[in-house]
Chains A and B, each alone.
Chain A
């Protein structure tokens, strides 16, 4: 089954303790992206990757890191989490970023992070 898998689904942790949210897709997609969803602010893009070893900042990258060493995986790293990073996080992928492809994005089920 084609899917985007995020882990963990839920995490409660404390300020400053490094954490990683994993994202994996099994569709051989070139493009992957991370979003956060907050009440009143909607979905905002954190980082994206157009292919292996190619990553770039989205609208709200501060406090986050990513890596793309393999095509299927795109982990989101919070080196020193703070309470303002409490949010619902989504990973997404699509076949290509090229506009002529017009490929829809496929989303994971989300990771709810609470930073105390």
Chain B
């Protein structure tokens, strides 16, 4: 059974810092890994999707890497801003039917001005 873990569960940093969020998964047979952002009272916003054949994806100040063999992904946020404060979730697609995602528990990020 696929399990996804995110460390740390919560993180507080001053504005401007570069930071790394971690995601690990137990079964390396995945199709893709997706990073989401969740704001309070809102749904999930897809940030980056990395296919199993890729090593990383970038969007603006965000960079996500994937090491399938070790079961790890990281989300790097450069020059953090207060507007980055949210919960960040990673999810792996574990099957070729039903697009079934297994989510991690999330990292709650607070960026202080």
Contacts and interface: CB of A to CB of B under 8 A. Distances in A.
B44 A48 contact: no
A63 interface: no
A99 B93 contact: yes
B49 interface: yes
A28 B34 CA distance: 21
B106 to A, nearest CB: 7
Nearest to B36: A107
> Looking at B31, B32, B98, B99, which has the most chain A CB atoms within 10 Å of its CB?
B99
Contacts, number: 62
> Looking at A59, A94, A99, A110, which has the most chain B CB atoms within 10 Å of its CB?
A99
Contacts of B103: 42-44
A102 B51 contact: yes
Interface string A55-74: 01011000000000000000
* Chain B contact patch, size range: 20 to 34
Given A42-B104, A97-B98, A99-B31, A104 B49 contact: yes
Interface string A61-104: 00000000000000000000000000000101010010100101
Interface residues of A, number: 26
A13 interface: no
Given A42-B105, A107-B44, A108-B43, A50 B98 contact: yes
A25 interface: no
A105 B36 CA distance: 10
Given A42-B104, A99-B32, 7 more contacts: A31-B99, A43-B103, A94-B99, A102-B31, A105-B44, A105-B46, A110-B42
17 contacts: A42-B106, A43-B89, A43-B101, A45-B101, A48-B100, A50-B98, A58-B100, A59-B100, A94-B99, A99-B31, A102-B32, A102-B51, A104-B46, A105-B34, A105-B44, A107-B45, A108-B43
